[in-house]
Amino acid sequence: MKGNFQIIILVVFIAAAILGVLVFSGAIPLGNQNNGTGAQGTVVLWGTVKNQIISPLLEDFNRTNPTFIVKYVEKSPDTFDNDLLEALAEGVGPDMFFISDDLAFKYNNKIYTIPYQSFPVNTFKNAFVGAGEVFLTSKGVLAFPLTVDPMVMYYNRSMLDANRIAQPPVYWDEFANLVPLLTKKDNRGMITKSTVAMGQFSNVLHAKNILSTLFMQAGNLIVSEKNGSFISVLSQNGGKYDLGSILKFYTDFADPLKDVYSWNKSFSNSRDAFSAEKLAFYFGYASELQSLVNKNPNQNFLVASMPQIRNSNFKLTSAHVMGIAISSFSKNFNTAFTAANLMANSDFVSKLATSLGIAPARRDLLKTIPTDAYSSTFYTSAFFARNWLDPSSKNTDDIFRGMIEKVLSNSMSVGEAVSDASDKLGLLLIK
C-alpha cells in the first residue's frame, strides 16, 4: 500500500510539472476566458453543499460547456474531511473539491497550487474580495474563491424600540451605554434579558470568530507566512491596540463586577436566546438568516454590519469563504483546471451564492445588490470581510476557549492568556 502511494505521488508531481509548463506556455489559459483548451471527459467534484442546490446549477454549467462534464458528489459535513483524506490516500479522490477556509491549511499540500506566473497576485486581488486571500500562499493560489459568508450583527427591533434606541450600534464602545438600557434582571439580580452575548465561550456561538474579528479590527494578524512556513503572530501586537486590552473588553461582558455585565452561563446559547427574544444583539453569519426566520417567524429583527473600533482607518468583519480547489491527484488535470476556472468566472458563482443566501466572492458580482432587507448588508460586508488561515478548527476552538476561561477564572492575566494561546497556535502550525 505504501509503495503504491509513493508511486501515485511521483506520478502526480510529474503530471503537475507538465501542467505547469502547459499553463505557463498559455496552452491552458487562466482568468475569464472561453473554453478553448480541449478539455474533455468527466471530472468529479466533491462538496458538502446539498445536491438539490448544486444539481440545477451544474446542469446549466455542463450545457454551456458541452466538451466536458462535471459530476457532483455530495458529502456529509461531518465526514467530508476524513472521506477526502482517505480517498486521496487511496488514489480514488475527486478531481476538484469545494474547500472552506478552515481546511485550506490542512490540504495545502494536496491541492494543485496555481503558480503566480500564471495567475498573478494582482489579477487575483482585482477579481476577488479580500476574504478570498486566505487561499493565497507564497507559492501560489490554493483555490478560486466562490462565496463569502460574512459575520454580521442581527438585532431585535422590538427591544430597541421599547427603549427608544433609534439605531443599532456602529462602534463597540456604544455597548457600554446600551447595557444599562437593554439588560434586564429579576429581583434576585439574575439576568433575564441580555444586551449582547460576549464574555463566555461555551454558550456564545462563534466566540472564536467574534474575538478573532476584534483582534483583526485592532490591526493584528493571527497567522502569517514567513519563509514559506506559517507562524502565529497572535501575541506580536503589530496593530494599534494591545491584544490583552481587546481580550479584556470581550471578557468584561461576563464579569458580574463590571458595568457591562450582560451574559453568563445561565443562557443556553446565544442564537437560541436571540430567537427567544432574550438577547438584543446576535453576532452570526449571513447563512444563518433563514434558520433564524424559521426558528421564530414572528420575531421583529433586522441585520447590520459588525460594529467597528472607533477612529479606525479601516472596516473589517470575519467571514467563512468557500473556494474550488484542484486535487494534485486528479487524473484529468486539464479538464479539472478548466472547469474550476470557468466555474469561478461564470454566472455559476452568482447562482450558487443566491441559492445559499450569502454573497459571491467576485467583486464584479457584488456591484449588483439584491433589494431585500438583508442582502445589502451581506454584500456590503463581503467587501471588507477578512479571514485567517486556521490550522485546525477544533483545536483552535480549544485554544480560544482556554484563553477566555483562564481570564474569567483569574488563573492568567489577559497578557499571559494571549501569549499562551499564541504559543499553542504556533505548535499547531508546525507540520
Whether residue 326 sits in one domain with residue 289 = no
Place of cell 484529468: 332
One domain for residues 116 and 184: no
383 domain residue, yes or no: no
Q: Is residue 19 part of a domain?
A: yes
The set of long-range contacts for 393-401, using a CB threshold of 8 Å and a minimum separation of 24, is 393/102, 395/428, 396/208, 396/425, 396/428, 397/208, 399/424, 399/425, 399/428, 400/201, 400/207, 400/208, 400/211, 400/212, 401/201, 401/202, 401/207, 401/208
Q: Are 68 and 335 in contact (CB under 8 A)?
A: yes
The rounded distance, in Å, linking the Cα atoms of 131 and 154 is 21
* CB 411, CB 404: distance < 8 Å: no
Q: What residue has cell string 485554544?
A: 399
What pLDDT is recorded for position 1? Answer: 45
Cell of residue 416, nine digits: 499571559
Give residue 259's pLDDT.
Answer: 96
Whether the Cβ atoms of residue 131 and residue 386 lie closer than 8 Å to each other: yes
- In a domain, residue 278? The reply is yes
Indicate the SS3 state at residue 212.
helix
Identify whether residues 124 and 253 lie together within a single domain.
Answer: no
The range of the structural domain enclosing residue 305 comes to: 150-318+389-428
SS3 state at 287: helix
User: Are 155 and 140 part of one and the same domain?
Assistant: no
Judge if 35 and 88 occupy the same domain: yes
Does 183 fall in a domain?
yes
Is residue 380 domain-resident? no
Contact 206, 283 (CB under 8 A): yes
- Burial string for 286-311 (b: 16+ CB within 10 Å, else e) reads bebbeebeeeeeebebebbbbbbbee
b/e map of 320-357 (b: 16 or more CB within 10 Å)? bbbbbbbbbbbbbbbbbbbbbbbbbbbebbbbbbbbbb
Q: What is the pLDDT of residue 239?
A: 66
201 and 248 inside one domain: yes
User: Position 131: which residue type?
Assistant: A
Q: Domain check: are 101 and 123 in the same one?
A: yes
- Give the predicted TM-score (pTM) of the model: 0.90
Contacts within 8 Å (CB) and 24+ apart, 225-228: 225/137, 225/138, 228/138, 228/139
pLDDT in tens, the chain (431 residues): 444 444 444 444 444 444 443 443 334 444 444 455 578 999 999 999 999 999 999 999 999 999 999 999 999 999 999 999 999 888 889 999 999 999 999 998 899 999 999 889 999 999 999 999 999 999 999 999 999 999 999 999 999 999 999 999 999 999 999 999 999 999 998 999 999 999 999 999 999 999 999 999 999 989 999 888 999 999 887 667 889 999 999 999 999 999 999 999 999 999 999 999 999 999 999 999 999 999 999 999 999 999 999 999 999 999 999 999 999 999 999 999 999 999 999 899 999 999 999 999 999 999 999 989 999 999 999 999 999 999 999 999 999 999 999 999 999 999 999 999 999 999 999 96
267: DSSP letter: S
User: Is 120 in the same domain as 267?
Assistant: no
Q: What is the DSSP letter of 115?
A: P
Q: Residue 238 has what pLDDT?
A: 65
Residues 170 and 120 in one domain: no
The CA distance from 401 to 218, in Å, is 20
